[in-house]
Structure 1
């Protein structure tokens, strides 16, 4: 386990409910397209890795698939079990999954690669548990981020805050360009054939307080940056966020936040 992996475990520990109430709806946007690309259909054996609150697993079950799902955080597993009672959900983490070689027809990972220390090794493990001819499909956030995705970071920067030293970044030798070509090349380097990638763009509609609730509760790295500050600095971040959010306000008062993700797939 890398320092990045250890940091991710700490960041997400105990955060399941706060994530469900904030960023989970955002991350659910690609799920139907992800399942389509993976070929998820009735009777297919499907693994959802990094299931979070179980939205992808539940959607796969709704298609009649035989679904297994894993997450590194026990709280997420509890919520996923409630969302997808027909799925077999357990605690497990990349890069070592408790499944035999070729066990699944399709393996999906919705934004899970954003949270692993060795993405290529993680993809190789997804490939291992997929049968010959099966499909691996994943999503990640694109870089540079879309304006809506960058909003909270802009507020943090405007408040004069810098990233704490105890939040390690991905090691340079394990990182890759968060572009269509970069993700395609990563899948190919992990041994996946016919690797292809597409860009997904959408406006996420969220209440301003809902959008703030995730980072204010320490969800994800951005949240850890926020809660590591003094109450006075946190209040300044919120003030900056309120100011910057005005450019995304819709006519009904909700925020319309542009986001861009990458979705890639390859065959075993």
Structure 2
């Protein structure tokens, strides 16, 4: 691979950050307080974490997940076995739905990767019924998503040019102020932004490092572009810098910012 940001292999994504995104999704859907019987849209559904959480906790009439990745949609279809769940390949900037047909439209951990977040949010608003909920959540790459922050700090120490590739630098949207401003500019009311913190515990350095070898996303894509010596150097530096407990485990946390408002 050449370090491109691939998002296709669901199993590799699950080993990387999918296991933590599922925990965040559980918290988010409960906080939104959408009534039972609602029609949900999961924009950028990935491997189906948010859809699965809605089905478990919210008693929806149905959930429709869309994602541009055929690989992720295939994984979601296999992993979410519920007749109320439907999935399709589609672009967040051109949703294949009529106006005002959902009671809740949510995008999880993806809006920063969309080329035009304003356009995508406009589509979420368009397909949401009056009084419905429009929400998104994104990793706090600059501060609270410690797994990825430690990775890029080490990569930048070895190669200062890598500072520009870190998500915390590339995605200023992933902060409370820009998220709230984006939601208000879209005409949504009752806008609020709040954090969700979840523990991310790794058994040992291998459990931390091996998911970066799967090639899914910016950091794993960078690892794939390195030669054996480069990968060994980066892994060694991470081993020196990470907070390793006496039992060899590594205990971090991951923060996501959740923004929501009403149409």
Q: TM-score range by the shorter chain?
A: 0.7 to 0.9
The TM-score with structure 1 as length reference comes to 0.85
Give the equivalent residue in structure 2 for 1:104.
102
| Aligned alpha-carbon RMSD (Å) | 2.7
Aligned residues: 256
1:14 aligns with 2:8: yes
1:209 aligns with 2:206: yes
Q: Kindly provide the CA deviation profile for residues 165-193 of structure 1, in whole angstroms up to 9, marking residues without a partner as x.
A: 9x7989x9xx6553322211111112222
1:259 aligns with 2:254: yes
Stretches of structure 1 that go unaligned for 5 or more consecutive residues are 1-6
Q: Is the 8 A contact 2:141 2:148 kept in 1?
A: no
Distance apart, 1:38 and its partner CA:
3.2
Separation (CA, whole Å) in 2 of partners of 1:228 and 1:252: 32
Q: Kindly provide the CA deviation profile for residues 28-80 of structure 1, in whole angstroms up to 9, marking residues without a partner as x.
A: 22212321343334311001111111121012122321111111111111111
1:178-189 correspondence runs (5 A): 178-189=174-185
2:222 to 225, 231, 251: 225
Stretches of structure 2 that go unaligned for 5 or more consecutive residues are none
Give the equivalent residue in structure 1 for 2:86.
88
The TM-score with structure 2 as length reference comes to 0.87
1:235 aligns with 2:235: no
Change (3 A) 1:187 1:56: same
Give the equivalent residue in structure 2 for 1:119.
117
Change (3 A) 1:107 1:37: farther
Separation (CA, whole Å) in 1 of partners of 2:117 and 2:246: 41
Q: Is the 8 A contact 2:156 2:163 kept in 1?
A: no
1:22-33 correspondence runs (5 A): 22-33=16-27
Q: Kindly provide the CA deviation profile for residues 73-129 of structure 1, in whole angstroms up to 9, marking residues without a partner as x.
A: 111111111222221011112111111111110011111112111112111111111
Give the equivalent residue in structure 2 for 1:3.
none
Q: Is the 8 A contact 2:142 2:167 kept in 1?
A: no
